[in-house]
């Protein structure tokens, strides 16, 4: 597919952001996209430039983001630029920024047992194009517990608790692993796998992310096809 993508990486080195960014770059370039990669969030200060992209892929665990930078990304996505990413690089990014959390659809809060937890990823919408043909699969990695927007369209889940912890007395819950959502005209995709680059380098997790990134990049084209406009969702006043 044609189009332009921006990948920005940095933050906590334990999540191997440079390696994860390289995996995403390969996925997008193999699909024919023109990819820009940067290791700075200064790119989020360029409001007009952000709107030229078809896709933004953040790989930034923790770190800080200014209110204006978050607004710039939000305005780009609301006009059709896609937003897609994985693990801490998107939903444990910029913890103090509530606009970022609302836009991405969740915020990480814990991973009981740490790395190397064995659990099942269950596909819950097997007819959806982003997971069609991908069955349930096992992983050994961090199991993310997230505070999740109920408006997300959930594609896959995992059952908690796998590891006993203080939360265990609350009983079993199915926690979303992958989802889609809308932000104005923009398409947003997230997958909680990816603690290390090797977790998403191949297999079902890799394929889910590949499809998710490309799906998110089609937001502008989808809006043109349906006749939706930014004005359909914009409103006056401060929301954050």
CATH number at residue 19: 3.40.50.880
Q: Is residue 213 part of a domain?
A: yes
Model confidence at 139, pLDDT cuts 50, 70, 90, reads very high
**In the prediction, which pLDDT does 225 show?**
96
pLDDT at 170 over 80: yes
Q: Is residue 237 part of a domain?
A: no
Q: How many residues are recorded in the chain?
A: 240
**In the prediction, which pLDDT does 190 show?**
99
Model confidence at 136, pLDDT cuts 50, 70, 90, reads very high
**In the prediction, which pLDDT does 57 show?**
99
Q: Is residue 204 part of a domain?
A: yes
Q: Is residue 240 part of a domain?
A: no
| Number of domains making up the chain | 1
What would the pLDDT profile of 179-227 be if each residue is shown by its tens digit?
A: 999 999 999 999 999 999 999 999 999 999 999 999 999 999 999 999 9
Q: CA-CA distance, 78 to 105, in Å (whole number)?
A: 14
Q: Is residue 71 part of a domain?
A: yes
Q: Is residue 239 part of a domain?
A: no
Q: Please report the DSSP string for 44-110 in residue order.
A: GG-HHHHTT-SEEEEEEEB----HHHHHHHHHHHHTT-EEEEEHHHHHSBSTT-HHHHHHHTEEEEE
Q: CA-CA distance, 76 to 78, in Å (whole number)?
A: 5
Closest by CA position to 196, among listed 11, 6, 18: 18
Q: Is residue 238 part of a domain?
A: no
Helices (H), the chain: 17-30, 47-50, 67-78, 87-91, 98-104, 203-216, 219-226
What does the mean pLDDT of the chain come to?
A: 97
**Alpha-carbon 37 to chain mean position:** 17
**In the prediction, which pLDDT does 58 show?**
98
Task: Tell me which residue range forms the domain holding 57.
Answer: 4-232
Q: Is residue 47 part of a domain?
A: yes
Model confidence at 1, pLDDT cuts 50, 70, 90, reads confident
What would the pLDDT profile of 225-239 be if each residue is shown by its tens digit?
A: 999 999 999 988 778
**In the prediction, which pLDDT does 239 show?**
83
Q: Residue 40's CB: how many other CB atoms inside 10 A?
A: 10
Q: For the whole model, what pTM was predicted?
A: 0.98
Closest by CA position to 181, among listed 211, 150, 157: 150
Bond preceding residue 70 cis, omega within 30 of 0 = no
What would the pLDDT profile of 53-87 be if each residue is shown by its tens digit?
A: 999 999 999 999 999 999 999 999 999 999 999 99
């Amino acid at each position: 597919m044609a189009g332009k993508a921006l990948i920005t990486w940095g933050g906590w080195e334990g999540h191997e952001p440079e390696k994860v960014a390289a995996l995403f770059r390969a996925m997008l370039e193999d699909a024919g996209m023109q990819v820009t990669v940067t290791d700075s969030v200064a790119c989020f200060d360029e409001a007009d430039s952000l709107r030229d992209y078809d896709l933004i892929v953040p790989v930034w665990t923790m770190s800080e983001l200014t209110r204006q930078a978050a607004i710039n990304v939000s305005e780009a996505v609301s006009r059709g630029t896609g937003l897609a990413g994985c693990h801490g690089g998107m939903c444990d990014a910029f913890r103090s920024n509530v606009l970022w959390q609302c836009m991405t659809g969740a915020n990480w809060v814990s991973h009981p047992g740490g790395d190397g937890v064995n659990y099942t990823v269950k596909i819950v919408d097997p007819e959806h194009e982003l997971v069609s043909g991908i069955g349930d699969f096992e992983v050994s990695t961090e199991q993310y517990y997230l505070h999740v927007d109920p408006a997300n369209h959930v594609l896959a889940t995992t059952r908690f608790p796998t590891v006993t912890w203080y939360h265990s007395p609350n009983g079993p819950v199915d926690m979303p692993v992958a989802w889609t959502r809308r932000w104005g005209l923009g398409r947003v995709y997230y997958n909680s796998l990816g603690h290390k680059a090797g977790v998403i380098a191949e297999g079902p997790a890799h394929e889910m992310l590949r499809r998710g990134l490309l799906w998110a990049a089609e937001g502008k084209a989808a809006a043109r096809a349906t006749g939706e406009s930014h004005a359909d969702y914009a409103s006056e006043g401060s929301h954050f």
